[in-house]
Amino acid sequence: MMRLAERMMRMAGSPTMKVTAAVDRLRRSGVEVIDFGAGEPDFDTPEPIKAAAHQALRAGFTRYTPVGGAIELRQAIAARYEADYGIDLGDAEVMATAGGKQALYNAALALFGPGDEVIVHAPAWPSIPEQVRLAEATPVLVPGDPSDGFAIRASALLERITPRTRGIVINSPCNPTGALIAEAELAAVADEAARRGIWIVLDLCYEKLIYDAVAHNLPRVLADRCRDRMALCGSASKAYAMTGWRCGWLLGPAPLIAACSAIQSHATSNVSSITQQAVIAALTGPQDAVTRMLAEYRVRRDSLHDWLAAEPRLRCRRPAGAFYMFVDVRGVLAGLGLTTSAELADALLERARVAVTPGEAFEAPGFIRLSYATSMTVLREGSARLLEFVASGVPAA
């Protein structure tokens, strides 16, 4: 057997990406599949953003840029955060990364190491604990309460602090639950973290996808309390329908950004120069496309929720943010002769040709994640197949 590095005994590829790959494989072999797996907008990137990329090509903006991105991009990111959250960041406190994923990875490598514990609320996007492990630290998963909509609670996170705790990662809106952390809860976490010198890594990849007008100025909460211990990770992918362009960003104290730039300089260097120009247009141009997409996601969320409500043994809530419905399937497994949500996800793909991501991917067995970043026609057909498949089981006694 080929001998790989020891760390490969402990890790496998991203289970969210795996669902997308399975759908691709089936489609290439001619099988028609409804894809509720892919966590990416189905919308095309807005035209003005694409036009900026064409212009970058025409102008020959095709060379290396500084590792953390062209200064114009870093300033556009800072200006966006100042406009949206009222926080003021200098050039040395911002860098661009190849997606939000690399921002989180850079931060994990720069901040955590052997012997460190990092608190992560669960259900969790799989790359968060995996990146902590790749940094040779230990993720401490704090399960949320399904009956509380998996709300992210300060008390649950703070309870798990030990002398080894080096960081707390918070993802709000959360992938996969769509739950938000309330400002007051984050403030309580930040106050304690500041007192103990613990870092807070805030994953804001879905920050533009919040359905109601709730207060969610999390960057301000952290900047006011632990500016020297915060790592804000964001992304153009979801807000501007730019997943394939690969651009995210990291904001934090200058020494952290310098460390992350050093790491990135040995890994991928700068984000594609063409993408950088496109993202400047996205961040500095009118934001109406974001609002339009959010309105469409809201309609889809409400429809999907209503359709699934026809089957009382499936339990789900309307998520507050992001574009995922996290459905409790524990009530239907036995009737279908299944024991786990992973088996249900496999059966749905094989027998109903509906791709979903099993809760196991998020440290939350018993649930499945449905992405509703897809058209209403596909949503309607997929939920009909899902409901029909569930109805084929024997109702639990």
The footprint of ligand GLU (CB under 6 A) covers 14, 16-17, 39-40, 101, 125, 127, 175
Shortest distance in whole angstroms from residue 248 CB to ligand GLU: 11
Contact (Cβ atoms closer than 8 angstroms) between residue 380 and residue 307: yes
Question: Which residues in 232-264 are b (16+ Cβ under 10 Å) and which e?
Answer: bbbbbbbbbbbbebbbbbbbbbeebbebbbebb
CA 360/CA 340 separation, integer angstroms? 9
CB of 55 to ligand GLU, least distance (A): 28
Taking the complex as a whole, the smallest distance from the CB of residue 266 to ligand GLU amounts, in Å, to 22
CB of 92 to ligand GLU, least distance (A): 28
Beta bridge partners, 230, equal 200
| Shorter beta-carbon distance to ligand GLU: residue 26 or 161 | 26
* Lateral strand order in the sheet of 138-143: 94-97, 248-251, 230-235, 199-203, 165-171, 117-122, 138-143
Whole-number minimum distance, CB 327 to ligand GLU, in Å?
15
| Residue 348 per-residue DSSP state | I
Task: Give the distance, in angstroms, between the CA of residue 174 and the centroid of all CA atoms in the same chain.
Answer: 7
Of 56 and 209, nearer to ligand GLU (C-beta) is 209
CA distance 14 to 377: 28
Return the number of the residue (48 or 244) whose C-beta is nearest ligand GLU. 244
Q: Which is nearer to ligand GLU, 194 or 344 (CB)?
A: 344
Distances (CA, A) of 385 to 33, 36, 123, 296, 390: 11, 12, 26, 22, 9
Nearer to ligand GLU, 171 or 277 (CB): 171
To the nearest whole angstrom, how small is the minimum distance from the Cβ of residue 75 to ligand GLU? 27
- The span from the CA of 343 to the CA of 329, in Å, is 11
Number of residue whose CB is nearest ligand GLU: 39
Which of residues 36 and 158 has its CB atom nearest to ligand GLU in the complex? 36
Q: How far is the CB of 357 from ligand GLU (least distance, A)?
A: 7
Residue with smaller CB distance to ligand GLU, 65 or 357:
357
Residue 323 CA to chain centroid, in angstroms? 10
Q: Percentage helix, strand, coil, to 5, in the chain?
A: 50, 15, 35
What single-letter amino acid sits at 241?
Answer: A
Question: What is the closest distance, in whole angstroms, from the C-beta atom of residue 123 to ligand GLU in the complex?
Answer: 11
| Dist CA 370 CA 32 (whole Å) | 18
Is 87 or 245 the residue whose CB approaches ligand GLU more closely? 245
If the CB atoms of residues 14 and 287 are measured against ligand GLU, the closer one turns out to be: 14
The SS3 call for residue 115 is coil
Q: Least separation, in Å, of the C-beta of 40 and ligand GLU?
A: 6
Amino acid in the structure at residue 372: Y
